[in-house]
């Protein structure tokens, strides 16, 4: 059977680092990038006798995320020990939640190809992150362990096996990430690993009711790698079945250098975690008043924001979704619109610039909106200059690039670089006359009925004026001088 005769089924486990200042079970800082082991204490080093105590803000953030995703917040949940040995785990167990997580149910909603999709969540639970092994530290090739990350709070968000393609998986992750970032509980950074995803992948004959055996894939720190990993894994599983074999349940590691997944460990061993309730922490009780307060304080969520942009500002769905899907970009957009002091017309222009040239410049520079030198006020000013006819399309592009690079004000750039659009009729007429005089044959053909040549003349005039001619005035002047065909 070819690939097309199989259904792909995906379930995702997301680990999102919470943006608390201190760790989940001690007062150590969660700040990234310090000297190895600078942010440690007896608790996160697992010294004998040290006891954990729960950071209240972790619970509040879990509740906020649960409410935003429509989960049932559990009045009582229980921490559990997940036992395994690894050098980056000094206690020999991870404190997580198992049978009684803080959130059950809920869903992530997103659009795919114009269709609305809703993928249900199984659960959300709180847990601690592990440390990091550092290899080849010295000339002797020795390894070390950095425990700065040990005890950093995580939410694990587990989906039902309801995703049907890698495209869906990517949209699901973008939507989930946008919600968490909008809530201020996560920074959404895949590359740095503060938003990580393991993908459970299985295939089954098209239309079959029973799910196939799954493999869990780890180590994908970008959407591109997720795509490669899942596509490789689907092909591999189909080939195993085609060859008459059986897919074994196992954990596989994605190798970005080869674009392949490789068996890491079989699931049977991995499952032997000997979970039991954490004896050093009491059950977590969530006060209904805390839930009510969190609900009342929820910010506008990305999908609601996108809907508002469509309904109130008339943005096309795709543009609204792009902006609202990146909470930092959305804040920038709102600020620019406010600075413009105008309504829907300015909104469309600002959105076009944001999704077009600004997005391109941001990509090329790798800068997040908070690090842009372009301010919302500057983008509003540029749009104002365009609306007033002070600068034309090609000039505006140049102005934007300069403002993005240097943080200068658009009006100043227009002045200093001489990019102002020329609308002066006498100046334009002079250029038109020169252009027509230089191409008598084309003028002849135009007057004989070849109307298409209008574009040629306009292009010549624009070229002479280095793109600064006001297109409407140039067009009119060319038509007038040529006389109608």
- List residues bridging with 115 in a β-sheet: 112
Q: Which of 216, 250, 319, 381 binds ligand ADP (CB under 6 A)?
A: 216
Indicate which of Zn ion, Mg ion, ligand ADP, none lies near residue 26 (CB less than 5 to 8 Å, by partner kind).
Zn ion
For the chain, give the number of residues. 485
Q: Residues interacting with Zn ion, by CB under 5 A?
A: 26, 28, 41, 43-44
Chain centroid, CA 162 distance in Å: 21
Q: Which is nearer to Zn ion, 27 or 259 (CB)?
A: 27
Q: Which of 20, 77, 202, 228 binds ligand ADP (CB under 6 A)?
A: 202
Distance, CA of 470 to CA of 457 (rounded, Å)? 14
Are 247 and 266 contacting, i.e. CB atoms less than 8 angstroms apart? Answer: no
Chain centroid, CA 477 distance in Å: 48
Chain centroid, CA 158 distance in Å: 19
Q: Which is nearer to ligand ADP, 211 or 344 (CB)?
A: 211
Please state the φ and ψ torsions of residue 465, each to the nearest 5 degrees: -90, 15
Is residue 261 close enough to count as binding ligand ADP by CB under 6 A? Answer: no
Are 286 and 75 contacting, i.e. CB atoms less than 8 angstroms apart? Answer: yes
Q: Which is nearer to Mg ion, 157 or 374 (CB)?
A: 157
Q: Which is nearer to Zn ion, 87 or 343 (CB)?
A: 87
* CA quadruple 345, 347, 353, 355: dihedral, nearest 10: -130
Rounded to 5°, angle at Cα 188 from 183 and 189: 155
Q: Which of 211, 293, 317, 472 binds ligand ADP (CB under 6 A)?
A: 211
Is residue 9 close enough to count as binding ligand ADP by CB under 6 A? Answer: yes
Interface with Mg ion: number of residues (CB under 5 A): 1
* CA quadruple 323, 327, 331, 333: dihedral, nearest 10: -10
Q: Which is nearer to Mg ion, 13 or 401 (CB)?
A: 13
Distance, CA of 333 to CA of 372 (rounded, Å)? 13
Distance, CA of 125 to CA of 310 (rounded, Å)? 34
Nearest to 409 by CA among 378, 448, 366: 378
Ranges within 160-179 binding ligand ADP (CB under 6 A):
160-161
> Of the listed pieces 19-27, 158-166, 377-385, 408-416, which binds ligand ADP according to CB under 6 A?
158-166
> Of the listed pieces 11-19, 20-28, 37-45, 303-311, which binds Mg ion according to CB under 5 A?
11-19
> Of the listed pieces 154-162, 317-325, 359-367, 459-467, which binds ligand ADP according to CB under 6 A?
154-162
Q: Least CB distance from residue 98 to ligand ADP, whole Å? A: 9
Distance, CA of 382 to CA of 175 (rounded, Å)? 31
Is residue 13 close enough to count as binding ligand ADP by CB under 6 A? Answer: yes
Q: Which of 20, 22, 94, 200 binds ligand ADP (CB under 6 A)?
A: 200
Q: Least CB distance from residue 11 to ligand ADP, whole Å? A: 2
Distance, CA of 152 to CA of 25 (rounded, Å)? 9
Q: Which is nearer to ligand ADP, 199 or 337 (CB)?
A: 199
Contact residues for Mg ion, defined by CB under 5 A: 13
Interacting residues with ligand ADP (CB under 6 A): 9-13, 158-161, 200-202, 211-212, 214, 216
């Amino acid at each position: 059977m070819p690939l097309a005769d199989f259904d792909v089924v995906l379930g995702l486990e997301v680990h999102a680092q919470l943006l608390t200042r201190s760790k989940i079970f001690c007062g150590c800082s969660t700040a990234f990038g310090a000297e190895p082991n600078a942010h440690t204490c007896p608790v996160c080093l697992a010294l004998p006798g040290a006891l954990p105590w729960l950071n209240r803000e972790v619970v509040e953030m879990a509740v906020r995320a649960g409410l935003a995703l429509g989960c049932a917040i559990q009045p009582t949940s229980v921490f559990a020990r997940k036992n395994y040995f690894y050098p980056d785990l000094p206690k020999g167990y991870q404190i997580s939640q198992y049978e009684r997580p803080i959130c059950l149910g809920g869903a992530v909603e997103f659009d795919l190809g114009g269709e609305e999709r809703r993928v249900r969540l199984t659960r959300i639970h709180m847990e601690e992150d592990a440390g990091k092994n550092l290899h080849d530290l010295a000339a002797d090739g020795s390894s070390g362990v950095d425990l700065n990350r040990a005890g950093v709070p995580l939410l694990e968000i587990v989906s039902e096996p309801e995703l049907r393609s890698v495209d869906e998986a990517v949209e699901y992750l973008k939507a989930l990430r946008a919600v968490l970032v909008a809530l201020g509980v996560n920074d959404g950074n895949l590359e740095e690993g503060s938003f990580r995803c393991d993908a459970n992948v299985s295939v089954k004959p098209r239309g079959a009711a029973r799910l196939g055996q799954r493999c869990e894939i780890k180590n994908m720190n970008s959407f591109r790698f997720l795509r490669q990993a899942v596509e490789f894994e689907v092909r591999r599983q189909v080939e195993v079945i085609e060859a008459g074999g059986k897919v074994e349940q196992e954990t596989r590691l994605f190798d970005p250098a080869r674009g392949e997944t490789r068996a890491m460990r079989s699931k049977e061993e991995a499952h032997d975690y000997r979970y039991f309730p954490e004896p050093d922490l009491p059950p977590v009780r969530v006060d209904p008043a805390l839930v009510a307060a969190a609900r009342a304080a929820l910010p506008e969520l990305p999908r609601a924001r996108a809907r508002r942009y469509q309904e109130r500002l008339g943005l096309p769905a795709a543009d609204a979704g792009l902006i609202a899907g990146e909470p930092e970009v959305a804040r920038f957009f709102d600020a620019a619109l406010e600075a413009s002091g105008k309504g829907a017309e300015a909104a469309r222009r600002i959105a076009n610039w944001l999704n077009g040239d600004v997005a391109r410049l941001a990509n090329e520079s790798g800068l997040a909106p908070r690090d842009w030198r372009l301010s919302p006020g500057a983008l509003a000013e540029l749009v104002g200059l365009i609306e007033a006819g002070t600068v034309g399309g090609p000039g505006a592009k140049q102005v934007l690039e300069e403002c993005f690079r240097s943080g200068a004000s658009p009006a100043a750039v227009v002045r200093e670089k001489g990019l102002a659009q020329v609308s002066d009729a006498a100046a334009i007429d002079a250029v038109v006359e020169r252009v027509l005089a230089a191409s008598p044959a084309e003028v002849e053909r135009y007057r004989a009925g070849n109307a298409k040549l209008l574009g040629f003349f306009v292009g010549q005039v624009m070229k002479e004026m280095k793109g600064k001619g006001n297109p409407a005035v140039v067009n009119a002047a060319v038509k007038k001088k040529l006389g109608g065909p």
